[in-house]
Structure 1
Amino acid sequence: MKALIISDSHGLKKELLDVIERHRDEVDVILHCGDSELDGAASELSDVNTVRGNCDIGTDFPEEYTESFQGFKVFVTHGHLYNVKMTYVPLSYRAEEVEAQMVCFGHSHVATSFQENGVIYVNPGSIRLPRARKEQTYCIAEVTDDKVQLLFYDRSGEFIPDLSAVYHR
């Protein structure tokens, strides 16, 4: 399974679509971790599994999304309801509740990944307003039987090796 993970695009349309179109044919699923600031009818989000962030108005998107892809369970949320700017503990409790193997979240605009208690956590950063780094980022996760490879890119598609990581399942 291969997933394109995006978050915090904050109203960008052309740039969001550029990233999606660049990778659409090479991924199995596209996940947006919220704060798109677009509505559910936006053509840019066609075929994109999107959750609602704190800057998204209306009820077009669910607060969270969980799905198994080829037996690998992914949980997607924006992160504001789990206080991710302060701690990952509430998010880890929710990951345990839904039996997630990977958690995708945004909100902090800080691109990062880590593994804790066997769960892989991915924040793809922001393609509009990054924090802690200058690059506007997104991530591609490639899941195989024994590992999860996370490849981070800047908005123009340039690979960012120091953010990228491999985690064993």
Structure 2
Amino acid sequence: MKIGIISDTHGCVERFTLAYDKFFKDADMIIHAGDILYHGPRNPILPDYNPAKLAEKINSLPMPTIICKGNCDSEVDTLVLNSPIQAPYTYVVIDGFKIVTTHGHHVMSDQEKDAMAAHFKADLFVSGHVHINVLEKRGNTIFLNPGSPALSKRTDHRQTAALLTDTKIYIVDIDSGETILSLDK
């Protein structure tokens, strides 16, 4: 099993394509934790901002793509994406491994995330929104924020995505290919 996990692409087609080409092209599935197409009013418009092309890219993917609605995603985005934008969370079970994804703007605190993860008996709880990586285990659940491949808010501004395999979860720098964080599953 290999699942690509990404969030906060904000319409940046080249950044999504880089993550896909380097890490996701042989994945069984991609999970997107929201803020897919629109840059958002507080974010700068980056040179590769092209939400229509990003929608085309996502629509052309050969693997299932599970998308959770972010605070910058709108109803009109559902008209250009073939995969539904699910809200307020997605719930996927693969080989008995339970994955809950929510963008994070409604479930902000660790306490709220812990409660939601416990309610769904999640093995992996994915969120985005803050554009900063998290990879930690609390109780029986691994909590992951893959960061952003386009608008990182890390102090070092590294652009990131994540991978889930049969044995590990990795957060990777999509430019250098370096593993930033990893955790056994």
TM-score using structure 1 length: 0.84
- Equivalent pair of 1:11/1:36 in contact (CA under 8 Å): yes
Q: Deviations over 1:62-85 (max 9, x none)?
A: 1211011111111111011102xx
Deviation of 1:42 (Å): 1.8
Of 88, 91, 96, which aligns to 2:110?
Answer: 88
Of 93, 103, 111, which aligns to 2:125?
Answer: 103
Local SS of the residue matching 1:42: helix
- 1:137 matched to 2:154: no
- Equivalent pair of 1:8/1:125 in contact (CA under 8 Å): yes
- Equivalent pair of 2:22/2:174 in contact (CA under 8 Å): no
Structure 2 portions without partners, runs of 5+: 39-50, 79-84
- Equivalent pair of 1:29/1:48 in contact (CA under 8 Å): yes
- Equivalent pair of 1:37/1:57 in contact (CA under 8 Å): no
- Equivalent pair of 2:103/2:128 in contact (CA under 8 Å): yes
Deviation of 1:14 (Å): 2.5
- Equivalent pair of 2:148/2:159 in contact (CA under 8 Å): yes
Paired with 2:127 and 2:138, the residues of 1 have a C-alpha distance of 15
Q: Which residue of 1 aligns with 2:91?
A: 66
Q: Deviations over 1:103-145 (max 9, x none)?
A: 111011101200011100110001111113310111111133x
- 1:114 matched to 2:136: yes
| Mean Cα deviation higher: 127-136 or 116-125 | 127-136
Letter in 2 for 1:44: K
Paired with 1:157 and 1:16, the residues of 2 have a C-alpha distance of 15
Deviation of 1:28 (Å): 1.6
Q: Deviations over 1:16-58 (max 9, x none)?
A: 1232233344322111110012689922223321111001111
Q: Which residue of 2 aligns with 1:44?
A: 57
Letter in 2 for 1:4: G
Paired with 1:22 and 1:102, the residues of 2 have a C-alpha distance of 23
- 1:151 matched to 2:170: yes
Identity of aligned residues (%): 25
Local SS of the residue matching 1:121: strand
Quick one: structure 1 residues 157 and 142, their matched pair in 2 at CA, closer, same or farther if it must change by over 3 Å?
farther
Paired with 1:141 and 1:76, the residues of 2 have a C-alpha distance of 14
Quick one: structure 1 residues 50 and 157, their matched pair in 2 at CA, closer, same or farther if it must change by over 3 Å?
farther
- 1:54 matched to 2:71: yes
Deviation of 1:157 (Å): 4.9
- Equivalent pair of 1:115/1:167 in contact (CA under 8 Å): no
Paired with 2:126 and 2:20, the residues of 1 have a C-alpha distance of 17
Paired residues, number: 159
Quick one: structure 1 residues 26 and 7, their matched pair in 2 at CA, closer, same or farther if it must change by over 3 Å?
same
Local SS of the residue matching 2:75: coil
Paired with 1:14 and 1:135, the residues of 2 have a C-alpha distance of 15
CA RMSD of aligned residues (A): 2.1
